[in-house]
Amino acid sequence: MSRQPLLKLEKFSVAYGSVRAIDEVCLELNEGEIVTVIGPNGAGKSTILNAIMGMLSSSGETWLDGKMLVKHSVSQMVANGLCLVPETRELFGSMSVQDNLILGGFYRFRKGMRDQEENLNSIFKIFPQLKERRNQIADTLSGGERQMLAIGRALMAKPRILMLDEPSLGLAPKIVYEVLQTVSSLRARGISILLVEQNARGALKIADRGYVLETGKVALEGLAKDLLNDQKMIDTYLGLGNSSNNL
C-alpha cells in the first residue's frame, strides 16, 4: 500500500515581478495531518497559501492525491476540496452570520448538493456562539467571533484541505487558545489542515509537523514535538518558558 501525500509541493516558487517571495519550497501534507508553516513577518507565509489556492501564479510542481496538477486555478482547487481562510477573513460584513455561512456552502449548492441545513447545524455544534448570534450582522462581531465565522464559513464547503492564514492574529490569548483548540478538533472530522501562524508555540502544540519559512525558503522542518525542543527554534521563535503569554 502506497501512502502518498494529499498535497505535495516540489520546488514551488512564487515571484512578485522580479522578486522571489517563495523560493523552491518543498512541502507535504498527509491525509489527516495538521501541518504548520511558521515564520516572521514577510517570510512568505500568506504568499504560499494564496499561490497553493491558485490566486497567485507559481512555478514548480503541485501534486494532489499523487497527481500533478497541470492547471492551477482557484476553481480547480475549490473543486479539489481546498479552502482558504485568508488573513483578511473576507466576511460579507453587512450580512448576517447565517447568510455568511450559507454562502460558504454555495459551491456545493450549485453542484446540486442539498445538505446545507445539516452542514449549518454541524457548524453550530462546533461554534455555539455563532448559533446564538446567527441573525447578527457580521461587521458587529468581536475579533474572535469573526475568526470563528470565517472558519465556519470555510467548513460549509466541506473541504478536504483547509488552509488557515494566521487564525490567531489580533486575538486575546484566551481566544487564541480556543481558536487553536477548535482547529485541532477539526482533524478528528477528517479534515487535513495547513496552518500558517506567527504564534509558533501555539501552532506547534496542535500540529503534527512544521515548516519554518525564512525569506521564502524552508529554514527548518520536522515533527512539531521536535521543533518545540529544537534549540534554534527556541532561540529564534519560541523563547524561554513553557507557556508564557504565547500559549
Ligand X SMILES: Nc1ncnc2c1ncn2[C@@H]1O[C@H](COP(=O)(O)OP(=O)(O)OP(=O)(O)O)[C@@H](O)[C@H]1O
Residues near ligand X (CB under 6 A) are: 16, 21, 39, 41-47, 87, 198
Choose the stretch contacting Mg ion; rule: CB under 5 A; options: 4-12, 85-93, 126-134, 139-147: 85-93
The minimum distance between CB 153 and ligand X, in angstroms, equals: 21
Residue 245 binding: pick among Mg ion, ligand X, none (C-beta 5-8 Å cut-off by kind): none
Q: Are 52 and 82 in contact (CB under 8 A)?
A: yes
Q: Which is nearer to ligand X, 44 or 144 (CB)?
A: 44
Instruction: Tell whether residue 46 is a contact of Mg ion (CB under 5 A).
Output: yes
The minimum distance between CB 22 and ligand X, in angstroms, equals: 8
Phi, psi values for residue 171, rounded to 5°: -105, 150
Q: Which is nearer to ligand X, 84 or 120 (CB)?
A: 84
Q: Which residues touch 199 (CB under 8 Å, ≥6 apart)?
A: 168, 176, 180, 246, 247
Q: Which is nearer to Mg ion, 97 or 213 (CB)?
A: 213
Instruction: Tell whether residue 50 is a contact of Mg ion (CB under 5 A).
Output: no
The minimum distance between CB 37 and ligand X, in angstroms, equals: 9
Q: Which residues contribute to the site for Mg ion (CB under 5 A)?
A: 45-46, 87
